[in-house]
């Protein structure tokens, strides 16, 4: 089942735990990808708190799927 990105998604911020659930990646792996510039940059909400733009995460997932399908 594929989730489609809507205009409402562009303004939704999601926590790292939700990003982990959506991508099936551990939070550690998400941090590694982020530090390597291979994952969307989170929005700093204050202090150590950060969240990701849902539309950017969905776009990242869709890009991975598209790249995978090109190879097969």
Which one, of 42, 61, 60, lies nearest residue 52 by Cα?
A: 42
pLDDT in tens, the chain (72 residues): 455 555 665 689 999 999 999 999 999 999 999 999 999 999 999 999 999 999 999 999 999 999 888 876
Annotated domain spans of the chain: 7-71
Would you state the pLDDT for residue 29? 98
pTM of the shown model: 0.81
Q: Span 7-71: which CATH code?
A: 1.10.1660
Which CA distances in Å does 62 have to 3, 20, 31, 44, 72? 9, 15, 19, 24, 16
Distance separating alpha carbons of residues 7 and 44, to the nearest angstrom: 22
Would you state the pLDDT for residue 1? 44
Helices 54-71 & 16-23 angle (0-180, nearest 10): 20
């Amino acid at each position: 089942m594929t989730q489609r990105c809507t205009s409402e998604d562009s303004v939704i911020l999601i926590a790292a735990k939700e990003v982990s659930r959506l991508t099936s990646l551990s939070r550690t792996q998400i941090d590694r990808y982020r530090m390597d510039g291979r994952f969307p940059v989170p929005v700093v909400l204050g202090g150590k708190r950060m969240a990701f733009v849902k539309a950017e995460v969905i776009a990242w997932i869709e890009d991975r799927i598209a790249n995978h399908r090109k190879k097969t």
